[in-house]
């Protein structure tokens, strides 16, 4: 662990803001919504970005586990650490991962998300982040469709860019994604503590071992092109 942290300090010290080229003037206040399937997804895949941009107004929608008292309590505590507002829904999240009706996912998002324009909306990749959780894929797909049909408006949409080599390793940020943000040691540690302290995952858990040291996103600025990609069910966005 000590050796690993030493490596981390040397390799990953970088200014988060300098890495965000797409939204100019990243330090000024912007409105951003993050729409995820489960409590902890917001932290795992985008927590460093949120912590690194504290002047932004973040609103986090979590679609599942609203009636799971323990996980809901942890989610709202995580929101406080992330200095974000947010809300939970209660979509089915059974272990059998039964596919949900597309309209139900979309309507749940619309019922939870404040009706306003956002500078940025971030969500799951329709291809998921690891092999495999169908709620992640359904969430990302619903967000893109709502953006395309104008029921949700945002200057741009970012979807998570992670892969696990088909379960060969823990999910890793994709290095050639449109946005690749290397976290500073301090920001990564704060994110790691949300996973281990706030959510209570052990150091040896899948979640703690995954907690990415960099965060990557595919940046989408044109919903028409994105829908074409989605309809062709391309495996990679470039």
- Return residues touching Zn ion (CB under 5 A): 37-38, 41
Closest distance of CB 56 from Zn ion, Å: 23
**What does the DSSP 8-state code read for residue 17?**
G
In the complex, the smallest distance separating the C-beta of residue 184 from Zn ion, rounded to whole angstroms, is: 25
- Strands, E, within 105-234: which ranges? 118-123, 154-160, 162-163, 172-173, 179-182, 214-220
Q: Which is nearer to Zn ion, 20 or 40 (CB)?
A: 40
State the nearest-atom distance from the C-beta of 106 to Zn ion, in Å: 18
Closest approach of Cβ 188 to Zn ion, in Å? Answer: 20
Alpha-carbon span 152 to 170, nearest angstrom: 32
Q: Specify the pairing of strand 118-123 against strand 154-160.
A: parallel
Cβ-based nearer residue to Zn ion, 30 or 209: 209
φ/ψ of residue 87, rounded to 5: -155, 155
CA distances 206 to 9, 62, 185, 232, Å, are 23, 20, 20, 32
Taking CB atoms, the residue at the shortest distance from Zn ion is 38
CB of 38 to Zn ion, least distance (A): 3
Q: Which is nearer to Zn ion, 23 or 100 (CB)?
A: 100
Q: 41 or 163, CB closer to Zn ion?
A: 41
Q: What is the DSSP letter of 83?
A: T
Our CB check for Zn ion shows the closer of 37 and 237 to be: 37
Query: Rounded to the nearest 5°, which phi and psi values hold at 157?
Result: -120, 135
The structure tokens 């709620």 sit at: 135
Minimum gap (Å) between residue 178 Cβ and Zn ion: 22
37/60 with CB nearer Zn ion: 37
Query: 80: closest CA among 53, 51, 108, 41?
Result: 51
Nearer to Zn ion, 16 or 74 (CB): 74
* Helices (H), ranges, 84-222: 102-112, 134-148, 185-193, 206-210
The neighbouring-strand residues paired with 220 are 157
Distance CA(34)–CA(60), nearest Å, equals 5
Least distance in Å: CB of 43 to Zn ion? Answer: 11
């Amino acid at each position: 662990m000590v050796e690993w942290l030493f490596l981390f300090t040397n390799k990953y010290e970088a200014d988060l803001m300098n890495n965000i080229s797409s939204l100019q003037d990243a330090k000024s206040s912007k409105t951003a919504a993050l729409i995820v399937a489960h409590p902890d997804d917001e932290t795992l895949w985008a927590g460093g970005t949120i912590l690194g941009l504290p002047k932004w107004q973040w609103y986090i929608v979590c679609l599942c586990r609203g009636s799971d008292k323990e996980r809901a309590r942890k989610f709202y505590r995580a929101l406080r650490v992330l200095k974000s507002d947010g809300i939970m829904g209660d979509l089915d999240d059974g272990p059998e991962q039964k596919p949900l009706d597309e309209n139900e996912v979309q309507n749940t998002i619309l019922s939870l998300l404040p009706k306003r324009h956002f500078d940025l909306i971030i969500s799951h990749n329709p291809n998921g982040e690891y092999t495999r959780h169908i709620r992640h894929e359904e969430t990302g797909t619903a967000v893109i469709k709502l953006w395309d049909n104008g029921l949700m408006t945002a200057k741009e949409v970012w979807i998570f860019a992670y892969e696990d080599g088909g379960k060969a390793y823990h999910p890793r940020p994709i290095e050639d994604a449109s946005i690749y943000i290397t976290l500073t040691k301090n920001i990564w540690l704060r994110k790691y503590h949300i996973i281990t302290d706030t959510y209570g995952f052990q150091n040896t858990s899948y979640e703690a071992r995954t907690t990415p040291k960099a965060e990557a996103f595919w940046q989408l600025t044109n919903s028409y092109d994105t829908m074409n990609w989605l309809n062709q069910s391309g495996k990679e966005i470039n």
